[in-house]
């Protein structure tokens, strides 16, 4: 299957700092990337959908100014958690798919801990 690389795998930061998470499709062009958040023992909660070259579409309740998403190329999308607070601590995972392809390929996720 296709490979999606997500970096970093885990990050610990102080409250008030910003954290950037990268998601790269290594062997295909990802026209659409999705960002999810997952709390322990819960399912994936879609945060936003990003299409290359356009603004991300955020789900209801997700602050777009807090969770900045950039999808500048067909192989890279970034999620920046701005002014992180302890309640932002969570597992963030990206997924990507090519044009008109239902299958999603997932990154390995990023565990964010905000102190």
Partner 1 sequence: EDKVVQSPLSLVVHEGDTVTLNCSYEVTNFRSLLWYKQEKKAPTFLFMLTSSGIEKKSGRLSSILDKKELFSILNITATQTGDSAVYLCAVVKTSYDKVIFGPGTSLSVIP
Of 34, 35, 58, 92, the residue at the interface with partner 1 (CB under 8 A) is 34
- Minimum CB distance to partner 1 smaller for 15 or for 99: 99
Q: Where are the beta strands (DSSP E) in the chain?
A: 4-7, 10-13, 19-25, 32-38, 45-51, 57-58, 67-73, 76-81, 90-97, 105-106, 110-114
Q: Which of 15, 17, 57, 83 binds partner 1 (CB under 8 A)?
A: 57
The yes or no reply on residue 44 touching partner 1 (CB under 8 A) is yes
Query: Binding to partner 1 (CB under 8 A): which residues in 61-90?
Result: none
> For 98-101, which contacts have Cβ atoms below 8 Å and span 24 or more sequence positions?
98/2, 98/28, 98/29, 98/30, 98/31, 99/29, 99/31
Contact flag: residue 32 with partner 1 (CB under 8 A): yes
Is 49 a binder of partner 1 (CB under 8 A)? yes
Q: How many residues bind partner 1 (CB under 8 A)?
A: 25
CB atoms within 10 A of CB 35: 28
Interacting residues with partner 1 (CB under 8 A)? 1, 4, 6, 32, 34, 36, 41-44, 46, 49, 57, 93, 95, 97, 100, 102-109
């Amino acid at each position: 299957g296709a490979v999606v690389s997500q970096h970093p795998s885990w990050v610990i930061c102080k409250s008030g700092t910003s954290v950037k998470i990268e998601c790269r499709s290594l062997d295909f062009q990802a026209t659409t990337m999705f960002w999810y958040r997952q709390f322990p023992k819960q399912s994936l909660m879609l945060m936003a959908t990003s299409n290359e070259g356009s603004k991300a579409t955020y789900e209801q309740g997700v602050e777009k100014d807090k969770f900045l998403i950039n999808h500048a190329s067909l192989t890279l999308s970034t999620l920046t958690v701005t002014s992180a607070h302890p309640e932002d601590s969570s597992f963030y995972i990206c997924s990507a798919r090519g044009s008109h392809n239902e299958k999603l390929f997932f990154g390995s996720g990023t565990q964010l801990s905000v102190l």
